[in-house]
Structures are given as C-alpha cells and as structure tokens.
Amino acid sequence: MPSSGEPASAPSAPQAGGDGPPAVRMEGVGKWFGSFQALKDIDLEVARGERIVICGPSGSGKSTLIRCMNRLEPVQQGRIFVDGIELTAGRKNVEKVRREVGMVFQQFNLFPHMTVLENCSIAPRKVRGVDRAEAERRARHYLERVRIPEQAEKYPAELSGGQQQRVAIARALCMNPKLMLFDEPTSALDPEMVKEVLDTMIDLAQEGMTMLVVTHEMSFARKVADRVIFMDRGEIVETAPPDAFFDAPKHKRTSAFLGQISH
Amino acid sequence: MIREFGPDEVVFILMAARWTLVLSAIAFAGGSVGGLLVAMARISPSRWLAGAAMVFIRFFQGTPPLMQLFLVFFGITIFGVDVAPLTAAAIALTLHASAFLGEIWRGCIQAVPSGQTEASWALGLRYGMRMRHIVLPQAARIAVAPTVGFAVQLIKVTSLASIIGFVELTRAGQIINNATYEPFMVFGLVALVYFAICWPLSLVARRMERRFARIAAR
C-alpha cells in the first residue's frame, strides 16, 4: 500500500502566531488600474496558520487583494512581505514567493492538454526539481486527500466542475505551499458541487494550512475562519472574528452588505 | 521544329515537380524556425523586439511575393556574389513564410486563455517552462489547421521562382510549351500536378480543423 504518509511538510500546529515571520504582511499597499484605484492604503497582517475569509461587493478589490500576494497583480505603492520575503523587491523574490504560495482560481485553470496526474506533477518537477516518480507519488497522495485518486489518468475536460476544482487544489498542494489563496473557488460551480469543494477546503483548514479565501459562502466563513475581512471600494472596512462579524457588525457598510446576501 | 507533346514531355514536367516540393519543403522548414522566432519576438515584453518583428511582418504582408523574390535575387547580385536561383528562391520564400507563420502563430499563442498563464505563474513556472510546457502545446493545437492552410499557399507561391529561372513545375511547363506550342495541354497538366499536391493537404487541414473544434467543444 502506498500509504507512506506525509511528504515533506509535517502538519504544524494549527495555532495562529508561532515562530518566524507572519505569513503575509502588507504595508500601505496601493494599486491602480489606470486611473481607477483598486486598493487604497491596505495594511494587513496574516499570522501563520490563520484562516481568513474576505468578502465584499463585486469590484470591492477583494480578488485584487489576494492576487497581489503572489504578484499576479503588481502594486504601485507600499510593501508586501510573504513568509518574510519582500515580494515588492525584485524578480527573484517574486519567484521565491510564488513557489511557496498556492492559488486556486474561480475558473480552475487546469492545463487541458495534460492528465490530472501531469497537472499535479509538472510544477514540482520543473520548479522544485523533484524526479518524476516522486512527483507522481506526491500527486497521487494529494489526489487521495481531495478524494479523487481514481481520476488521475483522465483529462480535465472529462471531469465535473467540482472534480476539476479539487484537482486544482491538489495541484497547488503538490508544491507544499506555506500559504493557500482561493479566489472565489466555488463561484463557477453548479450548486450541487459547491459542497464537495468546500468540504475539501474545510479539511485543509483543519490541518492547519494558512488560507486566504475570497468567497460569498458565509457558512464556510462561520465554520473555519479565524477572521472575516469586509472590503468595499478598495478599502478594508471591517475585520472581526466570524461571530462578531455576522452578529454584530460595527460598520454600516458591513451590515448593509450582510443584509443583501443570504447566510 | 515543333515537338510532339508526348510521354517524354509529361515525364519532364512530373520530374520537375520534385523541385517544387524541394523548394516548398525548404521554405516551410526554414519558415517554421523563423516563424517561431518572429512569433516569440512579437509577444515579447521588449518593445524593441516586438516592434522589429512587427515591421518585418508588415513588410512581407504588404509587398507581392514576386517583389520579395526579386529583392533577394538581385539584392545579393549587387554584392558581386553569384547566387543560384534555388538559393535565392529558398531565402526569399523562407523569409516570406517566417513572416506569415509568425503572425499566424502569434495569434494562436495569444488565443491560449490568460488563465493558463496565471496558473503557471502561480505555480512558479518561469517564462521558458511556461512557454514550452503550457502555452506552446496548447497553441500548437489551434495552429495546425491554419498552418497546413498556409503550406498550401506556399506551394503555389513557389511557382514564382520560375521567373528567376529556377526549373520547377511552372518553369518546366514553360519550357515544354515553348517546344510544343500546346499551352492548354501543358499548363492544364501543370495545374493538375499542383492540384494533386495541394488538395490532399487541404483535406488534411479541414479534417484537423473539425477534430480540434470537436475537442474544444468538449
């Protein structure tokens, strides 16, 4: 049986804080698309092991915020540190950070010309220099964790949306990331597939992964988030633990938003 | 002294078709290498490179292939170098094919969804790896049909090399016609030979187009 346990990263204590630098630190970050300011003077610190849910109306900058954390979007102002590495200080650091940060997209973005197994093993092989056998062993391990080991030889187009998204999660995990970013991971899914993806993310949260999740799934936020961040017009309006956030929001804009969505 | 248009003449024309194929093959092979370079330059973040590739493409798109052939053939002679018609034609058509394939392939590369690039970045894949393993394989699938389509065009364009005296299919037809005065028979045969070469390729292109359309719709 190839149940040879955890590869490389042992699950660390899921306590916030811990040793070393914070998972993410943003200092006075500003981001513009042309003349439109998408992020305004953002200060944010995410501790290791922390689970953060980011919500807000569309166009509020919540996706942009996490896309800045692996520099899918460059910022024009301020500094960003990920795991102590300054992302805003040159090409080399960007590459270092991207190796440590996993990302899951709304549209899955699996590689359609590769099998599930190849999707999961390409980055460890080409970026980390892991040999093929080890990369595939690792891929099968994580496919088992997201509960689709039997799909390894298939192509993405042969899978359902929920299965594709779970492959995307496994693909990111295969790099043993220190931090996982989720950009509306269930928004493109049919309703009956949302649960299987959220369950996978809950498992991951319970194992102590540091997670930043942009989502409208408020049940997920209540269940796993340490903090909920509400964004509006490029600003962080309110940050609070889920109970306080949902039951006693401090800001008008927050309660107006919560009033509009069912949770 | 008029010759009969007999079996020997037919064989002469058929044998000359080899040179049409040779010239097409050289131009296509050279154009593939050049086209890849041109396409990569076109999409490169360096403005200078992208601009140079753009000028190169515009020049070859905006001038007749015959002028391109003349410019290379007579251009080289200016430097006092004697150039064989095959060499001149091969160079001119390689440049021609590089420009057109470069533009076709640029479009195919840019047709690969941007999410693929973002996913590659997020996984830490660098430029070379991203191109080689993620973007180009997907672009290649889109590119097959238009590339085969261009190859058919290229085969027909090689007939221009007859004008600088390279004896390929068209030039062979002219030579036989000058001896037999049977233009309809001769050029009818020449046209048939071109058709026999190009038609199967067109069929292949159409079949591939349909196959990839079906895969894309899956």
Q: pLDDT tens for residues B159-173?
A: 999 999 999 999 999
Least confident of A114-128, A233-247, A249-263, B81-95: A249-263
In angstroms, the first-to-last Cα distance of chain B is: 66
B174, part of any domain? yes
* SS3 state of residue B203: helix
pLDDT for A11 = 42
pLDDT for A5 = 41
Distance between CA atoms of B113 and B117, rounded to whole angstroms?
8
CATH code at position B191: 1.10.3720.10
pLDDT of B37 > 90? The answer is yes
pLDDT of A177 > 70? The answer is yes
Host domain of residue B18: 7-217
**Chain A within 8 Å of B200 (Cβ-Cβ)?**
no
* SS3 state of residue B124: coil
Closest CA to A234 of A39, A2, A20: A39
B38, part of any domain? yes
pLDDT for A260 = 87
Nearest CB among B115, B137, B218 relative to A105 is that of B115
Query: What is residue A48's DSSP assignment?
Result: B
pLDDT of B95 > 50? The answer is yes
Q: Per the CB < 8 Å rule, is A111 touching B129?
A: no
pLDDT of A19 > 70? The answer is no
B142, part of any domain? yes
Give A18 or A96, the one with higher predicted confidence: A96
pLDDT for B207 = 86
What is the phi/psi pair of residue A46, to 5°?
-115, 120
Average pLDDT over residues B199-215: 82
pLDDT for A10 = 41
pLDDT of B216 > 90? The answer is no
Chain B neighbors of A99, CB-CB under 8 A: 124
Question: How does residue B3 score in pLDDT terms, banded at 50, 70 and 90?
Answer: confident
B23: number of Cβ within 10 Å? 24
Q: Report the percent of chain B where pLDDT is more than 90.
A: 82
Total domains present in chain B: 1
B150, part of any domain? yes
pLDDT for B217 = 52
Q: What is the pLDDT of residues B114-144, one digit of tens each?
A: 999 999 999 999 999 999 999 999 998 889 8
pLDDT for B2 = 78
Nearest CB among A70, A102, A122 relative to B133 is that of A122
Q: Which residues pair with A45 in a beta bridge?
A: A25
Q: Which residues 135-164 of chain B have a CB within 8 Å of chain A? A: 137-138, 141
Question: How does residue A262 score in pLDDT terms, banded at 50, 70 and 90?
Answer: low
Distance between CA atoms of A232 and A253, rounded to whole angstroms?
8
Query: A241 is written with which tokens?
Result: 């633990």
Alpha-carbon torsion, ordered B169, B171, B173, B179, to 10 deg: -150
B2, part of any domain? no
pLDDT for A18 = 53
B201, part of any domain? yes
Give B87 or A1, the one with higher predicted confidence: B87
Question: How does residue A9 score in pLDDT terms, banded at 50, 70 and 90?
Answer: very low
pLDDT of A83 > 50? The answer is yes
Nearest CB among A102, A109, A157 relative to B116 is that of A109
pLDDT for A2 = 42
pLDDT of A173 > 50? The answer is yes
Distance between CA atoms of B136 and A27, rounded to whole angstroms?
38
Angstrom distances, CA of residue B210 to CA of A5, A77, A263, B142, B202:
46, 49, 47, 11, 12
Query: B196 is written with which tokens?
Result: 């026999």
Is residue A44 within a helix (H) or strand (E), and if so which, with residue range?
Answer: strand A36-46
B1, part of any domain? no
A246: number of Cβ within 10 Å? 17
Average pLDDT over residues B194-208: 91
Average pLDDT in chain A: 91
Give A160 or B82, the one with higher predicted confidence: A160
Chain A neighbors of B119, CB-CB under 8 A: 103, 105, 109-111
B205, part of any domain? yes
Query: A114 is written with which tokens?
Result: 């590769």
pLDDT for A82 = 96
Question: How does residue A14 score in pLDDT terms, banded at 50, 70 and 90?
Answer: very low
Contact indicator for A231, A62 with CB cutoff of 8 Å: yes
